[in-house]
Amino acid sequence: MQFTPSPRPTVGIELELQLLDAESLDLKDGIVPLMRLFPDRMDVKPEFIQSSVEITSPVCECAGAAGRHLRRTLVGLKERCESLGMTLSGSGLHPFSTHLALITPSPRFLRMKSEYGIIGRNQLTFATHVHVGVPSGDMAMFVMRQMIPCLPLLLAVSANSPFWRGQETGFASYRQCILAASQSYGLPPYFEDWEEFVRFYRMSERAEIFSSCRDIHWDLRPHPDFGTLELRVMDAASSTHTATALAAFVRSLVVYLMDYADADLGDWPLSRLPRWIEQMNRYQASHQGLSARYIVDEDGHVRPIQELLTRLLLLVEPVAERIGEAQELASLRSWVQEGVGYVSQRRVLESSRDYREVVRRLVSGLDNEISQAVLSQ
């Protein structure tokens, strides 16, 4: 297996959005008729479930450019959804929908359906994925090793799924609990180099566990055909601006680590820990979001996850300035102070006591973003 090198740390964003009935605001299995209106578009794609549509950016030089492409795509997507009696929303889970998913009838998704059973029909989840270009497979494995301890922080700051089937779950990202039932989700293993990853993949292929790298659904995985590392742990953002700010942070982290690949990692605050501790840190981030405490060593010392997030943001700030991500990183810091996704959703429910009002606010927020995009054209 060859890793296609990316000579520059390019970035791409994939955002999975919910297809809703425009009147009831419940999930609607509308991807099949919607895709008939996008026969040749590569930036609007079906997903595993029929109530999801994915918008993707091209390979971009910075997160801001990727975000601008997503917004342009949204304008046309919204118009076509309206023609089919649908609207769009962004969050990791739908707050009140109770039906099981219908699976999109493509050969790959139908194969997954047969393998997953009822787990697949329960997997009504939505994510933000970020690709960052890296120059080699060995570099991808180096960055991946250093970023595994960061995954709880990235999960906490993007958490956007506190409600499920009309219930307050008590989790900032309950999406993670649903995905936990499926194969190959969660923290990736540690690989010392690309050769070790290839051995792992070939073994899995022979054992008929995976038929391609796309079947590996870890929180962070290499994508050898694209020459990228793909971060998959984050919930679907409620706006392209949020997705863009998160992508800028991810890209800044990756570039920082590549800068230090042949040297000491400087003030990098996180290190590898026994797997059970890393699993606990991930669980706490899913449960309590930015209020979680992070276990930093084998003696059980802890730090607030928000404190560690702030340290990482400050650490990568000079890199972000150099690679054109400073403005987006500043937006992320402001967003954290105002209240990230799960916090905002809970505020709406607390004031309205109505899960439909939560969805209305999510829809109107995305609509406002689309309106601004139209005005700027």
pLDDT surpasses 70 at 377:
no
Q: What does the pLDDT look like over 103-122, one tens digit per residue?
A: 999 999 999 888 889 999 99
How high is the pLDDT of residue 192?
Answer: 96
The amino acid that residue 329 corresponds to is: L
Query: What band does 268 get if pLDDT is binned at 50, 70 and 90?
Result: confident
DSSP string for 219-232: SEEEETTTTEEEEE
pLDDT surpasses 80 at 262:
no
Q: What does the pLDDT look like over 329-357, one tens digit per residue?
A: 999 999 999 999 999 999 999 999 999 99
- CA 223, CA 194: separation in Å to the nearest integer? 12
Round the average pLDDT of the chain to a whole number and report it. Answer: 95
Q: Comparing C-alpha atoms, which of 180, 232, 238 is closest to residue 361?
A: 238
DSSP 209: S
Residue showing tokens 């990316």: 6
pLDDT surpasses 70 at 143:
yes
How high is the pLDDT of residue 271?
Answer: 92
Angle, to 10 degrees, between the axis of helix 63-83 and the axis of helix 326-338? 60
Domains and CATH numbers, the chain: 11-376 (3.30.590.20)
Q: What does the pLDDT look like over 69-97, one tens digit per residue?
A: 999 999 999 999 999 999 999 999 999 99
Over range 22-26, report the average pLDDT. 98
pLDDT surpasses 70 at 225:
yes
For the question of whether the overall pTM of this predicted structure is more than 0.75, the answer is: yes
How high is the pLDDT of residue 264?
Answer: 77
Query: What band does 372 get if pLDDT is binned at 50, 70 and 90?
Result: confident
Burial of residue 202, with CB atoms counted within 10 A of its CB: 0-12 exposed, 13-18 middle, 19 or more buried: exposed
How high is the pLDDT of residue 317?
Answer: 97
Question: What is the percent of the chain with per-residue pLDDT over 90, rounded to a whole number?
Answer: 89
Q: What does the pLDDT look like over 149-197, one tens digit per residue?
A: 999 999 999 999 999 999 999 999 999 999 999 888 999 999 999 999 9
How high is the pLDDT of residue 164?
Answer: 98
